[in-house]
């Protein structure tokens, strides 16, 4: 019988496949929604190759995602001068419980980093004018 990747209980009915985590039971499935939203947010971000603040932001997010338990790949488009992060589709390198525990803290860190990057950009644009 198949077991829930999160809590380890045997599944009486087919489980739900949660990307990066594995098959989970019905009780555990809802716990992963915020984590999946975090992954979606990270994958939507694009970073400017010519902006140091943007580069620091990308490096910090990549490091944090790795610390949570995700494998992340950096992609660069030299023509568009952009960089983006891809959270790999294979399973994460930690159990789901550890990932869920830290996701809210991680979202708060991301928001702080985005705010700081925006302030840096505005300061640079103000001094350039």
- DSSP E strands in 49-90: the ranges are 72-77, 82-87
The per-residue pLDDT for range 32-47, each reduced to its tens digit, is 777 777 788 888 889 9
> Where along the chain do its domains lie?
1-44, 46-92
Bridge-based pairing state of the strands 22-24 and 47-48: unpaired
List per-residue pLDDT tens for the chain, 129 residues long. 788 888 888 998 888 887 777 888 888 888 777 777 778 888 888 999 998 888 888 998 888 888 777 888 999 999 999 999 998 855 555 555 566 666 667 777 777 877 887 787 787 777 655
- Does this model's pTM top 0.75? no
Closest-CA residue to 53 (of 112, 94, 99): 112
For residue 64, what are its two tokens? 């944090």
Q: Which residues pair with 73 in a beta bridge?
A: 86
């Amino acid at each position: 019988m198949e077991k829930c990747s999160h809590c380890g209980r045997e599944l009486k009915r087919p489980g739900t496949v949660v990307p990066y985590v594995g098959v989970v039971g019905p009780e555990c499935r809802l716990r992963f929604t915020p984590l999946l939203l975090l992954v979606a947010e990270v994958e939507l971000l694009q970073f400017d190759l010519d902006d140091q603040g943007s580069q620091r932001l990308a490096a910090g997010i990549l490091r944090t995602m790795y610390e949570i338990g995700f494998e992340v790949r950096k992609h660069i488009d030299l023509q568009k001068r952009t960089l983006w992060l891809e959270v790999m589709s294979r399973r994460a390198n930690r159990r789901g419980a550890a990932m869920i525990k830290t996701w809210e803290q991680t979202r708060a860190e991301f928001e702080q980093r985005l705010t700081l990057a925006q302030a840096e950009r505005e300061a640079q644009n103000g001094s350039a004018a």
